Amino acid sequence: MSNLASREELIIEGPGGSLPAIVTVPQWSQGGALLLHPHPLYGGCKEDRIVLATEETLLSLGVATLRFDFRGPPSGLPYAGVDGAIDDALSAMDEMRSHLRSASQHPDIGVVGYSFGGSVALHIAGLTSVSFLVTISASYDIAADVPLLAERLSAITCPVLLLHGDRDSVVSVSDVTRIASLMDNADPLVRTIEGADHFYNWGLDEMTTVLRQFVSRVRPPVCPGSNR
């Protein structure tokens, strides 16, 4: 990460308490991305290996990142359900925009979520303006635990990449098709990763390659010494 300028631990004051976070801003920034981790009741946290792999990919493209722990065991706060995770993510989005502005960086932010985090990301992209949306193995049923999912998916207009492993035995690959079918005002790119399970024990390199290609397309390369 030769373009790495700063990595900072911080605390996000969310509606349910203090959430630990890490923000990383490249020297030559191309906006940012909020990274959302898997289910906090099943070991998901901001140090998840898939979250870290997506972070590494984004930083190499000059995209700043913020990852944090949802309410639940990793944060030390009581789990607050999908609704609470959405509120946590909206607070983190506000924090990242503020952080980028204070660093004189461009405040456009995308959202990337894996598993539970992908289900939450669907709501975030329908509730607030984001520059792009990427979900990795998102669950339709978890997302649908909160009312108005169809309305929120229909409200998404940004570039969208929906990734899923074709050997996922935790979340059916059919979920990605169902999610895409409800995005009336977006043209989502759906990519299934051959041989990948839910945890990407196989196919991680292909997944990050597709992610890199997508972000490179929707965010033009940044030049050293310039911030958009």
- Would you list the domain boundaries of the chain? 4-218
User: Is the whole-model pTM more than 0.85?
Assistant: yes
* Four-residue CA torsion sign, 171, 73, 122, 112: negative
Architecture field, domain 4-218: 3-Layer(aba) Sandwich (3.40)
Tell me the torsion sign for CA atoms 8, 11, 13, 15: positive
pLDDT bracket for residue 198 (50, 70, 90): very high
- H-only helix segments in 27-139: 49-60, 81-102, 116-127
- pLDDT tens track for 41-57: 999 999 999 999 999 99
